[in-house]
């Protein structure tokens, strides 16, 4: 009954399906944690949500967190006109996948599913979050800083704050080689986002899954049909 974690699907339905069905060969007795950002950038945002909801309906142990792109879409659908939830091409592609022209017209079941997602999950050995935690804050404030959980890009990990548990997150794409190095080191904080959606960047362009029990890293190359996307500039 292995446990896996992955993140930042960004509309890459075919890649995610290959990871789940061909690489992980997921069973209903297994557990898969997905750390947010299901939509935008890639070709089939709605398809990703449909597949996740289908797996859950079929009894698979799929536990999903909220990502910043998901929250920004919710904000836009709720009429927050100040919310910038994607670039113009991304907005068009995402809305087209839902068959609508405005975020408010996205079917309610998708918005309700996203709105119900938690920001963190705490396991005996890992804490899971989309982007990270602001360890500079006092403990109570750190756990209340939802903006950091969804958006922080750089932080200094403090294991004492998590009672010795490791932190798993996504949000900030890193090269696959760098992720493998951190996994080999059993680092205290591990970013699982290997920029799957950036199909033009060979150092990214993979969907990563980590076996939380064996520390095996599984890398599924982007297998989508053509879609326009810019190169990603590494930080």
pLDDT tens sequence across 167-194 = 999 999 999 999 999 999 999 999 999 9
Instruction: Identify the structural domains of the chain with CATH numbers, from first to last.
Output: 3-130+167-221 (3.60.21.10)
Q: What is the pLDDT of residue 88?
A: 85
Higher local confidence (pLDDT), 80 or 229: 229
The answer, yes or no, to whether residue 233 has pLDDT greater than 90, is no
pLDDT of residue 234: 61
Where would I find the beta strands (DSSP E) of 75-145? Answer: 120-122, 126-129
Give the pLDDT confidence of 18-34 residue by residue, as tens digits. Answer: 999 999 999 999 999 99
Q: Please tell me the predicted confidence (pLDDT) of residue 3.
A: 98
Would you put residue 40 in left (φ > 0), alpha (ψ -120 to 50) or beta? left
User: Residue 54: phi, psi to the nearest 5?
Assistant: -65, -45
- Do 198 and 232 contact (CB within 8 A), yes or no? yes
CB 98 within 8 A of CB 46: yes
Global confidence as pTM: 0.97
Mean pLDDT of the 109-129 span: 98
pLDDT for 62-115, tens place per residue? Answer: 999 999 999 999 999 998 866 677 788 889 999 999 999 999 999 999 999 999
Rounded Cα–Cα distance for residues 175 and 184 (Å):
14
The residue written with tokens 């950038």 in the block is 41
| N-to-C CA span, the chain | 36
Burial profile 161-200: b = 16 or more Cβ within 10 angstroms, e = fewer: bbeebbbbbbbbbbbbeebeebbeeeeebbbbbbbbbbbe
Is residue 176 within 8 Å of 204, Cβ to Cβ? yes
Assess contact for 38 and 52: CB atoms under 8 A.
Answer: yes
* Bridge partner residues of 120 (DSSP): 129
Pairing of strands 206-211, 3-6: antiparallel
CB-based contacts of 81: which residues, under 8 Å, 6+ apart? none
Beta bridge partners, 202, equal none
Instruction: Please answer whether residues 100 and 77 qualify as being in contact, where contact means their C-beta atoms are separated by less than 8 angstroms.
Output: no
CA–CA dist 189, 6 (Å, integer): 14
Strand-pair partners of 210: 5, 217
Give 139's pLDDT tier (boundaries 50, 70, 90): very high
∠ CA(122), CA(8), CA(135), 5° rounding?
45
Name the helix (H) or strand (E) containing 196: none
């Amino acid at each position: 009954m292995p446990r896996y974690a992955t993140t930042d699907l960004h509309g890459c339905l075919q890649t995610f399906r290959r990871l789940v069905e061909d690489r992980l060969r997921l069973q209903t007795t297994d557990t898969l944690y997905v750390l947010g950002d299901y939509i935008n950038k890639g070709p089939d945002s709605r398809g990703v949500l449909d597949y996740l909801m289908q797996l859950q309906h079929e009894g698979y142990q799929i536990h999903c967190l909220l990502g910043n792109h998901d929250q920004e879409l919710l904000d836009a659908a709720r009429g927050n006109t100040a919310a910038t939830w994607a670039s113009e091409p991304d907005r068009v592609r995402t809305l087209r996948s839902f068959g609508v022209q405005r975020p408010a017209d996205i079917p309610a079941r998708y918005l309700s599913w996203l709105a119900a997602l938690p920001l963190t999950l705490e396991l005996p050995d890992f804490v899971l979050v989309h982007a990270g935690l602001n360890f500079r804050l006092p403990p109570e404030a750190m756990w209340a800083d939802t903006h950091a959980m969804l958006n922080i890009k750089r932080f200094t990990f403090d294991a004492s704050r998590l009672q010795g548990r490791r932190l798993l997150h996504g949000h900030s794409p890193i090269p696959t080689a760098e992720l493998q190095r951190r996994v080999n080191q059993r680092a205290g904080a591990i970013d699982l986002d290997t920029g799957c959606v950036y199909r033009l960047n060979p150092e990214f362009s993979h969907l990563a899954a980590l076996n939380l029990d064996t520390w095996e890293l599984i890398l599924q190359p982007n297998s989508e049909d053509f879609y326009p996307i810019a190169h990603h500039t590494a930080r």
